Structure 1
Amino acid sequence: MKILHLSTWEERCGIATYTRQLVDALNGLGIENEVYPVNRVKLSYASLKEIEDHYLAFCERAHEFDLIHIQHEHGFFHGSYPFNVSIKIFNLILSNLKKTRKPVLVTFHTDPAFLNIEAAPVEVDSGEVASVGASTVSVAPGLKDKLIAAIRKKVAQLRWNINISKFFKKDSLFTAISHSKKSRLQLVKSGFDVGAIKILVHAFPERDTDFQEEDICSIKKEIGLPRESIVLSIFGFVSKYKGYEVAIKALSNLPSDFVLAIIGGPHPEAKEKALDDVFRTIEILSLEEPEIAKRVFITGYVETEELNKFHRATDICLAPYLPSSISASGALTWALTSGKPVVASNIPAFRELNQKANCLRLFQPTAHRELAWHVQRLTRDKHEQQALVKNAAAYVQAHSWRTTAKDTYSLYKAALEKR
């Protein structure tokens, strides 16, 4: 069986890592794999015609393979052009793959983006409202902004239905893969047939656990953390939706021996100012609590060996994500394989995971005081810590990449039987 994959590849990208782990596991089953790389840096300098040609070349290669597997993230397809171009290019890909009469599987790593179009808060000069220790504040959008957002959402949904949803019908050669029941429902709401969607849980990395036996005090000293500190950590690319502001505000509500390690740096292709927002939050809180800056440690990008050291030094992993369109979190899979308990926000993807595995202590998104309360309770409750870690280990073992590769292979065989 020969599979052609479309994905980011061999770069600092969560989906590139996901694809590498999937391909390695499929290779172990004797499946022949080739990856057609999505080079986001190159495409960001490409004209629309060049982007189209890049993906048409991929479609031409598809004739040589038994099946095509696409990793979908909206940002892969529009280069430096607006979001609607992503839909146009993805339609171009699906239309040309349909002509090959080859089965096509698409793993959707985020829900259709238009489902989250809302009127954004408006930033105004803080002098126009109460003094809040910042130059600007956000106020709720007005009726006009909400109306415009609703129209944009409807137009985007119509564009998606016309260009994308039509391919994913029960008896077609196109199959959608989602990581959760919540994301499956979002795809159904976007126009996909129920019978064209399969659920594959996001797999977990297989980590060498030797790091969990190293002396914690020595590790803390080596990586520059206070010896007697209680370490909270967040791992992954620094993105706004991961809730760093929530974590830092929670830290300010915790005793001074608690510290926060932000393990990671900005994504190379990120256009947001997430890391700058982290510094801004620290600056604002420092006006009332000058010592807060000394309690936050930011590593920048780290390799696995360095991550292992920080996870060994960690007491509790945090995943304080804001509501977003993610179907799963690669960063959370690393937290759950760390051997440490995890406190996460109660967003749909994490809530669904916890319903199955009971491996997280959940708090309401953005509720920093509640997060601080949960952290303190969990710090004192060694029994719950052990239970969360044990439950996480069992769930991780049941959803390894080897298991996921076998499940993926079953989907491949089922898709080929449709021909």
Structure 2
Amino acid sequence: MKPKANISEFRRALMRVVLLTPWDQKCGNAEYSKHLVTGFSDEVEIFPIDLPNLMGTRRSFGDKYKLHKDFRRILQKINEIDPDIVHIQHEFVFFGSGTSRSCVNFDWFTKRLRHPFVVTMHTLPVKLLNPDKRKLLRRIDPRRLISRFHLIRAMERARGVILHSQSTQRVLMQATKSLSDKISVCPLPIGKVEGTSAGIYTKQASDVWLTIIGFVSRYKGHLSAVELLSHLPNNFKLVIAGGFHPKEGNPEAYWSSILSKADQLNLSDRILFTDFIKTKAEQSYYMERTDAFLLPYQEVGQSGSAVLADCMAYNVPIITSDAMSMIVYRTESDTCFSSSILFSSTQESYRQTDAQREVFDFSLAASQLERLFAAMQDQNSVQRKHRKTVQTRFSLEETCSRHLRIYNDVLGGKASGRN
């Protein structure tokens, strides 16, 4: 007679993965992680653990000790689960309210992590890792050198470092050669946002909707989108589908600057604000009706963009800036025209003076946009073919397969680096 299977032994036969991200909070990182989890097969058992998110918080006396207490609780949970591998979805605000403190805390945390781990670096600060050689004071700044040391040492403890683009891979390789055999490039997965829901706006037959999806944050370049709208016909509408990030400091100031620009250009009847998108179904409503997506992002060191990944699932023009995170899917010969760069990542930089910002020809961008509409409607155009290739090559299934290979390489004692 065949003995009954022991349920606990069966569950232990699965690969046990602890996933560290702000799982229980409103956060793009957490949304990405939840999307990723849906694509894993039955071979993996996922244990999400909520990380703190210190975005928008101010430092105060005792913060370090409170945070370390939280991290000790997380480490205890990990030890209780006893996973095969820990996967850290890293953002600097998860480990400290400032970059310097975050790097030190990340080093402190990984030193005490007793299980094999991989880390996905969603953002890499270029100026911290590879400052401009012409700026001597920045290069020898003790705070920068200390932060850089702690950040690299923490990543060296990882069995694998996952990045979303070849651009950020080059940034990290220029900073240190010690991670060369650990780095894997794994772009964010592409897939349509599912669901049906009514939005607060109804699209008229003659309307052309240009949409910016996601939180209204400074680096997303809404002012450039408003400027572009002023050079387009009156039936073009700008849909700003999102609200303030719940943890961004002083978001009203940026919101006010968008309204001011719209007032100056007399565009108040052509800009549609949806406020905070509460559900995936509501997000789907606007994405399904969009004629072109706008992503005029500023360069902030992002390794990839979940918003760009969502937009890639649709067969309409995607207009981006030249920021590193915007060319993730354009590095191969059969995908390089899957989106189009019509914005500059320095045009609206809130970290630069007016004299440093690049002069940009919005009227030229407007004329190019109208040509892109025709190209994306043609099934045989290069743009349409490249978009289809991206949708297949970077599907959720393919992305999860890449992660599983990395996990298996780590557990097998091999170097995890692969592209």
TM-score when scaled to structure 1? 0.79
Alignment length (residue pairs): 373
Shift of 1:41: 6.6
Shift of 1:48: 1.9
Q: Report the counterpart of residue 129 of structure 1 in structure 2.
A: none
Do 2:316 and 2:373's aligned partners in 1 also have CA atoms closer than 8 Å?
no
Shift of 1:253: 1.2
Q: Which has the higher helix share?
A: 1
Would you say 1:175 and 2:160 are equivalent positions?
yes
- Matched residues in 1 for 2:49 and 2:259: separation? 42
Of 346-355 and 331-340, more deviation after overlay is shown by 346-355
SS of equivalent residue, structure 1 residue 39: coil
- Matched residues in 2 for 1:83 and 1:166: separation? 15
Residues 13/168 of structure 1: CA separation in 2 closer, same or farther (3 Å cut): closer
- Matched residues in 2 for 1:227 and 1:206: separation? 24
From 217, 227, 244, the counterpart of 1:249: 227
Do 2:161 and 2:183's aligned partners in 1 also have CA atoms closer than 8 Å?
yes
- Matched residues in 2 for 1:12 and 1:385: separation? 38
Q: Report the counterpart of residue 6 of structure 1 in structure 2.
A: 20
Q: Report the counterpart of residue 399 of structure 2 in structure 1.
A: 404
Residues 381/408 of structure 1: CA separation in 2 closer, same or farther (3 Å cut): closer
Would you say 1:294 and 2:272 are equivalent positions?
no
Residues 82/354 of structure 1: CA separation in 2 closer, same or farther (3 Å cut): closer
Do 1:344 and 1:360's aligned partners in 2 also have CA atoms closer than 8 Å?
yes
TM-score when scaled to structure 2? 0.79
Do 1:5 and 1:70's aligned partners in 2 also have CA atoms closer than 8 Å?
yes
Do 2:301 and 2:324's aligned partners in 1 also have CA atoms closer than 8 Å?
no
Would you say 1:240 and 2:218 are equivalent positions?
yes
Q: Report the counterpart of residue 328 of structure 1 in structure 2.
A: 304
Of 185-194 and 382-391, more deviation after overlay is shown by 382-391
SS of equivalent residue, structure 2 residue 330: helix
State the identity %. Answer: 21
Q: What are the superposed Cα offsets for residues 106-149 of structure 1, whole Å, 9 maximum, x if unpaired?
A: 00000136439999xxxxxxxxxxxxxxxxxxxxxxxxxx969x
SS of equivalent residue, structure 1 residue 57: helix
Would you say 1:190 and 2:190 are equivalent positions?
no
Do 1:328 and 1:349's aligned partners in 2 also have CA atoms closer than 8 Å?
yes
Residues 376/153 of structure 1: CA separation in 2 closer, same or farther (3 Å cut): farther
- Matched residues in 1 for 2:394 and 2:124: separation? 22
Shift of 1:317: 1.2
**Matched ranges for 1:21-36 at <5 A:** 21-26=35-40, 28-36=41-49
From 144, 147, 150, the counterpart of 1:163: 150
Q: Report the counterpart of residue 231 of structure 1 in structure 2.
A: 209
Would you say 1:108 and 2:121 are equivalent positions?
yes
Shift of 1:323: 2.1
Shift of 1:52: 0.5
Q: Report the counterpart of residue 293 of structure 2 in structure 1.
A: 317
Of 392-401 and 373-382, more deviation after overlay is shown by 373-382
Q: What are the superposed Cα offsets for residues 344-390 of structure 1, whole Å, 9 maximum, x if unpaired?
A: 11223323422332211222413334432322222354545874355
Residues 412/116 of structure 1: CA separation in 2 closer, same or farther (3 Å cut): closer
Q: Report the counterpart of residue 412 of structure 2 in structure 1.
A: 417
SS of equivalent residue, structure 1 residue 195: coil
Unaligned stretches of 5+ residues in structure 1? 120-145
- Matched residues in 1 for 2:65 and 2:192: separation? 41
SS of equivalent residue, structure 1 residue 293: coil
Q: Report the counterpart of residue 283 of structure 1 in structure 2.
A: 260
Shift of 1:77: 1.0
- Matched residues in 2 for 1:8 and 1:234: separation? 24
Alignment root-mean-square deviation, CA: 3.1
Shift of 1:86: 0.7
Would you say 1:72 and 2:65 are equivalent positions?
no
Shift of 1:272: 4.7
- Matched residues in 2 for 1:95 and 1:380: separation? 55
Shift of 1:91: 0.8
- Matched residues in 2 for 1:153 and 1:329: separation? 32
- Matched residues in 2 for 1:177 and 1:82: separation? 23
Residues 389/309 of structure 1: CA separation in 2 closer, same or farther (3 Å cut): farther
Of 237-246 and 17-26, more deviation after overlay is shown by 17-26
Q: Report the counterpart of residue 140 of structure 1 in structure 2.
A: none
From 241, 249, 257, the counterpart of 1:271: 249
Q: Report the counterpart of residue 317 of structure 2 in structure 1.
A: 341
